[in-house]
Structures are given as structure tokens and as C-alpha cells.
Amino acid sequence: MTLVSRIVVRTALAICQMALVSPVAAAPADPSGTWLTEDGRARIRVERCGSKQEQICGYIVWAKEPNDANGQPLKDLNNPDKTKQFRPVLGHQLIMGLKLNPAGRFEGQIYNAENGKSYEISLWREAIDLKVKGCMMSIFCATQTWTQTTNAVPGQLVGMTGDPNGPKADKEWMQKAQAKPPATTRASK
């Protein structure tokens, strides 16, 4: 074997060995859980949603100030969808079906009930925290760190999504009811 052939073979073997030992990209850490926002004003339950549970949705399950000046539950009065303007802020869906991007982050929209607007966000789990990056017009961006909570505090919605003591998914994100099998009839004798 010539010197050039040996160099080519050794180089090829080295490349193959590096390919075998190089780490495979790990799946992103699941962001599901209940998270305290950076300013401490709300707890957001993040969970899988969509027909194949491949997307991420989020719901307000606790608010530091859930009532207005008259002691009534805050309503989503600024929502551009008039059918949602009288729903309580506590329990409503604010993270809308984020999808996994090639960088291993979930991205999509978050709704702000304080002004009735939606913003582009991406979120990902970093160590023990959840990072939430929001952008206006894809130019002005800021990142918050949300801290996971494992306890329930007074006033927190603890039921499953859609249950009476749980948050409510927007209609487009509700789980489709299981189709009932057709009723069977017996032939009479």
C-alpha cells in the first residue's frame, strides 16, 4: 500500500471513529409542570396538547391578584374575540400550541390578557428553570426565567385541564371526544 493510500485509509478510519463516538443530539427536556413567573404574579401550568400531544399549551392556574377592585374575578375584557371577553383570567389558556423547532425549543404564541395582544415566544427548559423568550415584531425580545413549583397555594387551580377545578382550554385546543362505537343490535328470534 502506498503512503498516500495509507493516509487516506487512516483518515477515513479516524472520521468513522469520531462519528461513532460523537454525541447524538438529545431530545429537548419536557417543559411540562407548574411554573412561577419571574415577577411572581402568576403560576402557569405547562402541558402537552394537540392531537398527538406533540405541542405545548399553558394555563394560568394561580394569580397573585385574581380579583378586581370590587372583589370580582378579573375578566379577559381586552380579548379581541368578543366571546372570550367575560371569561375569568384565572384558568384561561395563554400559551397556544407551541411547536418544537429544529433548535430544540418550543415556539408559537402567548396571549396577554392585560392588553388583549398575542406575542411570539419560544420556551425551553434549562437546568431546573424554564426560559421564556418573548418578542414583539421579531425585533424587541426579552427572556424571563420561570421557576418550577411543586406545591399548591391557596386559590390555585389544581384540577386537570377541563375539569371543574382546573383550567379551561380554548375550543381549538380541547381534546376531541372519543368517538363512541356504534350500538349493536340483536336480531330478534
Answer yes or no: is 184 within a domain. no
> In the predicted model, is pLDDT for residue 176 greater than 70?
no
CA distance 36 to 153: 11
CA distance 88 to 66: 9
CA distance 47 to 111: 16
Give the model's confidence band at 1: pLDDT under 50 very low, under 70 low, under 90 confident, else very high.
low
Q: What is the domain-level CATH number for residue 135? A: 2.40.128.520
Answer yes or no: is 39 within a domain. yes
Amino acid 121: pLDDT: 95
Amino acid 187: pLDDT: 45
Q: How many domains does the chain have?
A: 1
> In the predicted model, is pLDDT for residue 14 greater than 50?
no
Pairing label, strands 93-100, 106-112: antiparallel
Answer yes or no: is 25 within a domain. no
- Measured CA to CA in angstroms, residue 167 lies from 33, 126, 140, 159 at distances of 14, 26, 30, 7
Q: Note down the domain range covering 114.
A: 33-163
Answer yes or no: is 96 within a domain. yes
73 DSSP 8-state letter: B
151 DSSP 8-state letter: S
CA distance 169 to 43: 16
Closest to 58 in 3D by CA, of 135, 164, 159, 173:
173
Answer yes or no: is 101 within a domain. yes
Answer yes or no: is 97 within a domain. yes
Answer yes or no: is 19 within a domain. no
> In the predicted model, is pLDDT for residue 92 greater than 90?
yes
Answer yes or no: is 147 within a domain. yes
Residues of the chain with pLDDT > 90: what percent? 65
pLDDT in tens, 30-62: 999 999 999 999 999 999 998 889 999 999 999
Amino acid 189: pLDDT: 41
Amino acid 118: pLDDT: 92
Amino acid 26: pLDDT: 59
> In the predicted model, is pLDDT for residue 129 greater than 60?
yes
